[in-house]
Amino acid sequence: MQLRIPGPTPIPEAVRQASAGQMINHRGPEFAELITEVTQGIKQFFQTSHDLLLLTASGTGALEAAIVNTLSPGDRVLAVSIGEFGERFAEIARAYGADVVPLTSEPGRAADPEAIARTLKMNGPFKAVLLTHNETSTGVTNDVAAISQVVHQTDALFLVDGISSISSIEMKADEWGCDVVLAGSQKGWMAPPGISMVSMGPRAWEAYAEARMPRFYWDLGRARKSFERRQTPATPAVSVLYALRASLRLLLAEGMENVFERHRRCAEKVRSGVKQLGLELLADEAHASNTVTAVKVPSDVDCSRLLKLLQADGIVLASGQGALAGKIFRIGHLGMIDDADTEVILAGLARALPLAKK
């Protein structure tokens, strides 16, 4: 079976076996070792020397944590959104009473640093800027380094959703001045869903001290205090941590640069193969994602029939979300993927396409 949706992603056999481990006392010494190793491994992929905290939640929990730990109701927030996940980040901020100013782009386009700079100048001052590093709904990767430069011409905090990028695409949280960065276990980390990750830099902790949005389960101050004792405030998803320990060992043994290069190469193969089949990409190619490719459905093809045919052939792809439902399909190529997998996906697509004509 080729599970090629942008999360959950397939997990290697060693990771599956690790996740079947016996339960341990989450206040005991084995757990302390487990959370220490996992946290250190994740920090390497975030390229951060600041605090990295684990939450028992899917990625959305981490998005919510980023908001409630740094903001107060009424704070003006610039929500840069290039798709569904950018919208979700904005919606959470709105739900907690932030004064959200949206800045959106056409589906398939990356966020424009100049447009962000203009909005920051004209509609500010802003307390925070929300950005999606890699927009999974459109297959577009934003230029975090360039956007960071315009954000840091102001005092705004920079909160970055790296859920479908980190561990597959380079993220330099500290160098790029990202105050809060998030990720989730079921994407490129080759682990099951259930753990999300949040890094908090010094400016984020300053904001935390003043932030007045309600928080309890997502209170990162409590998580930081527990982590001093190598624990978590509530019972963690121990099995997912076992899995993450095993998958991080695999990823780090391969080497971060090699992991990124493998994702670049597989993404390139998928994009060129898709184009050879006469299909069009949704993403502006200069910003095409190395973890997910969104493909336009030709007008004479029935998208749901196409996905069903592929599924019957053992290849599971994702449909479009929101307004893009029926208009695109998405190929996830993150985590456990190699050149041979890309060939299987493309061959399946070549077989299914002519049969999915309206």
Ligand X SMILES: *Cc1c(COP(=O)(O)O)cnc(C)c1O
Return the number of the residue (134 or 290) whose C-beta is nearest ligand X.
134
Return the number of the residue (107 or 348) whose C-beta is nearest ligand X.
107
- For residue 11, give both structure tokens: 């997990």
DSSP structural state of residue 106: -
Say if CB 292 and CB 345 are below 8 A apart.
no
Segment near ligand X (CB under 6 A); pick from 131-139, 208-216, 268-276, 344-352: 131-139
Least separation in angstroms between residue 66's CB and ligand X is: 11
Least separation in angstroms between residue 130's CB and ligand X is: 11
Between the alpha carbon of residue 279 and those of residues 243, 274, 301, the distances in Å are: 37, 6, 11
Tell me: does residue 289 bind ligand X (CB under 6 A). Answer: no
Instruction: Pick from 9, 69, 148, 164 the residue near ligand X by CB under 6 A.
Output: 164
d(CA 356, CA 146): 41
Segment near ligand X (CB under 6 A); pick from 42-50, 113-121, 161-169, 326-334: 161-169
Please list every residue from 3 through 32 that binds ligand X, using CB under 6 A: 6-7
Return the number of the residue (259 or 356) whose C-beta is nearest ligand X.
259
Tell me: does residue 148 bind ligand X (CB under 6 A). Answer: no
Calculated CA dihedral for residues 275, 81, 134, 246, nearest 10 degrees: -140
Binding mask 46-65 for ligand X (x = CB under 6 A): ------------xxx-----
Helix, strand, coil shares, percent, the chain, to 5: 45, 20, 40
- For residue 357, give both structure tokens: 């004509």
Tell me: does residue 184 bind ligand X (CB under 6 A). Answer: yes
Instruction: Pick from 31, 85, 126, 158 the residue near ligand X by CB under 6 A.
Output: 85
Tell me: does residue 163 bind ligand X (CB under 6 A). Answer: yes
d(CA 89, CA 111): 15
Tell me: does residue 161 bind ligand X (CB under 6 A). Answer: yes
Kindly list the strands in the beta sheet with 292-296, ordered across the sheet, starting from the edge strand earlier in the chain.
Answer: 292-296, 328-332, 318-319
Least separation in angstroms between residue 58's CB and ligand X is: 3
For residue 141, list its beta bridge partners: 134
Segment near ligand X (CB under 6 A); pick from 35-43, 71-79, 128-136, 148-156: 128-136
Say if CB 35 and CB 24 are below 8 A apart.
no
DSSP-based three-state secondary structure for 298: coil
Q: What angle do CA 103, 106, 109 make, to 5 degrees?
A: 95
DSSP structural state of residue 323: G
Tell me: does residue 194 bind ligand X (CB under 6 A). Answer: no
Instruction: Pick from 9, 69, 132, 239 the residue near ligand X by CB under 6 A.
Output: 132
Contact positions toward ligand X, by CB under 6 A? 6-7, 58-60, 85, 132, 134, 136, 161, 163-164, 184
